[in-house]
Structure 1
Amino acid sequence: MLQFFDVTRDAPWFPQVKALYESAFPANERIPIKHLLDDKIKQEFWAFFDKDDGESGAAENTADENTATPRFCGFSNSISHGDITNIVYFAVVPELRSRGYGSQILQVIREQHPDTRIVVDIEVEEDSKDAEELERRNRRRDFYLRNGFDASPVDYVWQGEHYRLLTAGGTVTDKEFRDFWKEILKDIPGAKYP
Structure 2
Amino acid sequence: MLQITEIKKGSPFFPQVQALYESAFPANERIPMKQLLDNKIKREFWAFFDDALCENHGEKGDREIAAPLTFCGFSNSISYGDITNIVYFAVVQELRSRGYGSQILQAIREKHPDSRIVVDIEVEEDSKDAEELERRNRRREFYTRNGFNASPVDYFWQGEHYRLLSAGGTVTDKEFRNFWKEILKDIPGAKYP
Task: Please confirm whether the aligned pair reaches a TM-score higher than 0.5, indicating the same fold.
Answer: yes
Equivalences for residues 1-194 of structure 1 within 5 A: 1-53=1-53, 68-194=67-193
Letter in 1 for 2:19: A
Letter in 1 for 2:95: L
CA distance in 1, matches of 2:138, 2:124: 10
SS of residue paired to 1:170:
coil
Q: Deviations over 1:129-188 (max 9, x none)?
A: 210000000000000000000011100000000000000000000000000000000011
Shift in Å, 1:71: 0.2
Letter in 1 for 2:72: C
Shift in Å, 1:6: 0.3
Q: Which runs of 4+ in 1 moved over 3 A?
A: none
TM-score by length of 1: 0.92
Question: Any gaps of 5 or more consecutive residues in structure 2?
Answer: 55-64
Larger radius of gyration: 2
Shift in Å, 1:67: 6.9
**RMSD (Å) for aligned C-alpha atoms:** 1.2
The answer to whether the Cα contact below 8 Å between 2:53 and 2:66 also exists between their aligned partners in 1 is: no
Number of paired residues? 183
CA distance in 2, matches of 1:190, 1:67: 50
Letter in 2 for 1:116: S
SS of residue paired to 2:18:
helix
SS of residue paired to 2:44:
strand
Q: Deviations over 1:53-98 (max 9, x none)?
A: 27xxxxxxxxxxx974200000000000000000000000000000
Question: Any gaps of 5 or more consecutive residues in structure 1?
Answer: 55-65
CA distance in 1, matches of 2:124, 2:101: 20
**Higher RCO (CA 8 Å, separation ≥ 6 residues):** 1
Letter in 2 for 1:27: A
CA distance in 2, matches of 1:52, 1:168: 28
TM-score by length of 2: 0.93
Q: Deviations over 1:20-42 (max 9, x none)?
A: 00000000000001111011111
Shift in Å, 1:52: 1.9
